[in-house]
Amino acid sequence: MNISATIGASLAFLGVRYVLGDWVQTKYAERLVKFNAEFEENGVNYILMARLLPVFPFFLVNILSGLTKVRLWKFALITSLGIIPGSTAYVFAGRSLETIGARGSILNREIILALCFLALLSMVQVLFRKRKKRKDAR
């Protein structure tokens, strides 16, 4: 499943990049300067966070990432790694279907908290870099 999802995400990423990427970057160049700089530096962490949090639709992450300058190999690697926890949670939930009536929902509180924690961990590096930049600027 991981390989198929990563290939599918990468194809969507490439499709958006080569069909819309240049047009969006040209049309909104002034508005995207800060975004591009931030994504250039921390894009991998943002993609990982989006993959780990079950809030962001998979296709939307593919599309938005395709509009950036993140390299394909980085996108594919982070996508592959980032979907493992969610896939594991869904497999766990699927195996627990026999007790779903007694337990509640498929995505129970523990699974959601674990995914949110992993997403927050992916942002730690971004926060440290920003803090270091502020110190260096002083």
CA proximity to 12, closest of 22, 25, 21: 21
Q: Which of 27, 20, 30 is nearest to 68 (CA)?
A: 20
pTM for the whole structure: 0.69
Q: Per residue of the chain (138 residues), give pLDDT as tens.
A: 789 999 999 999 999 999 998 899 899 989 988 888 888 888 888 999 888 877 788 899 999 999 988 999 999 999 999 888 878 777 776 666 556 555 556 667 776 777 777 777 777 777 777 887 888 887
Domain positions in the chain: 2-137
Contact 43, 68 (CB under 8 A): yes
Helix axes 109-137, 72-95, angle to 10 degrees: 150
Longest dimension (CA), the chain: 59
